[in-house]
Chain A
Amino acid sequence: MRSIQKNLARFNEVGIRPVAVSVDSPEDSRDLCQKAGYTFTFLSDPNLVAIRPFDLVHAGQGIKGHDIARPAEFLIDKTGTVRWRMLTENFWVRARPEQVLEAAKVLQ
């Protein structure tokens, strides 16, 4: 998240809108955005309406034993087609901004 915020201007310049999705409530996400200074879109998916069809449910991993999303990134073009994705195999490793910017070169 931090690296996305840091590179937000570069993303926007090439026409990419970053959107974060988690099971956190809109209120929790708003608190996070205020505290951390995130200015891009955060969406709340407590009922897994996006997380489940994307097959990213990590069952029972929330602190209250609820289902959460596993980390993953998808670059989607304006027709709604996936053009790049990263399903990390390691919890600590996330997509680097340069990888996304490189992948974004195929977007029209």
Chain B
Amino acid sequence: MKRINWSIWLGLIVSIFAFLSYPILFVNWETTRDFPWANIVLFVIAFALLLIGIRRAFAPGRRLLSKIVAPIVATISLLALGLFILTAFVAARWLPASANAPQVNQQAPQFTLKDTNNKEVALTELLSQPLNGNPPKGVLLVFYRGYW
């Protein structure tokens, strides 16, 4: 019985995990989010395994099938790396420049919006209504994409 080329398959699994674990797992912690070093480490491990796997696949005495499957698996793994680079580094920067956003020391635009109780709330109210019984010192406005 021919032995299974474990390193190549493990390399594939680690590559796919290295890609998917960024948006679903490692973004939850600032240290692994702001720079995705954990995912880069995983990809290094994955490609070390793939390299071992490819050498093994082309070693003397391996079946032809092994020589065909190994490059395919390696290509899929490269695709996972490509998607990771796109997600974490390239597409992540497709944001509007917001050149006319209010600068530090500029007056913020006034607005009135509905809160979750459908009640109209003005920025001026948020800046003046007591917070834990004391007048607030400021408001942290957090704009986010929404969950649509």
Contact = CB atoms under 8 A, between A and B. Distances in A.
Contact of B116 (A26, A51, A55, A61): A26
Given A17-B126, A30-B116, A76 B139 contact: yes
Contacts of B102: 54, 74, 82, 85
Contacts, number: 222
B27 to A, nearest CB: 6
Contacts of B117: 26, 30
B141 A73 contact: yes
Nearest to B36: A92
A64 B116 CA distance: 22
Given A56-B143, A72-B98, A73-B143, A108 B137 contact: yes
Contact of B144 (A20, A62, A76): A20
A63 to B, nearest CB: 5
Interface in B44-93: 88, 91-93
Grouping DSSP codes into helix (H, G, I), strand (E, B) and loop, the A interface class, with mixed when no group exceeds half, is mixed
A11 to B, nearest CB: 7
Nearest to A85: B104
A62 to B, nearest CB: 5
Given A16-B140, A91-B95, A93-B34, A80 B145 contact: no
Interface of A: 1-4, 11-24, 26-30, 32-33, 41-45, 49-51, 53-59, 61-64, 68-78, 80-85, 87-93, 96, 100, 104, 107-108
28 contacts: A1-B142, A13-B132, A14-B137, A15-B131, A15-B134, A15-B135, A16-B139, A17-B140, A19-B140, A26-B115, A43-B114, A44-B113, A50-B109, A53-B109, A55-B98, A56-B96, A58-B96, A64-B148, A69-B145, A70-B95, A71-B144, A77-B138, A80-B123, A81-B108, A87-B98, A92-B27, A92-B33, A92-B36
